[in-house]
Amino acid sequence: MSAAVRPIRASLLDVIAREFKPYRFAQEMLARASNKTPRTAKNWLSGSSAPDIEALIELMASCNSIADEVERLVAERRKAREDTQCPGSPLN
């Protein structure tokens, strides 16, 4: 994988912050969108932790910008692995 590829966690937390930090009740709004607690949302907004997969799916369903960023990250990593086949894929 290319050294230029930005860490997933940082990219994800940046898009969450861009989407929610401008609002007065950011952590409450983020908590509602992810079905998590406001304290958990506060930790994401501060960058001290990142959403688990369940919360990430909820956020992707709630916010197009977060879904777009995750899809962009997946596409970026697929491109970086173009010549690599998944070990579980049948050989052609």
CATH number of the domain encompassing residue 31:
1.10.260
> What is the mean pLDDT of each successive set of 10 residues along the chain, which is 92 residues long?
66 96 96 97 96 97 96 90 74 54
Residue 1 lies in a domain: no
Please answer whether residues 73 and 14 qualify as being in contact, where contact means their C-beta atoms are separated by less than 8 angstroms.
Answer: no
Distance in angstroms (rounded) separating the CA atoms of residues 53 and 76: 19
Range of the domain at 64: 8-79
CA distances from 40 to 3, 44, 65 (A): 30, 7, 20
pTM: 0.80
Total structural domains within the chain: 1
Residue 51 lies in a domain: yes
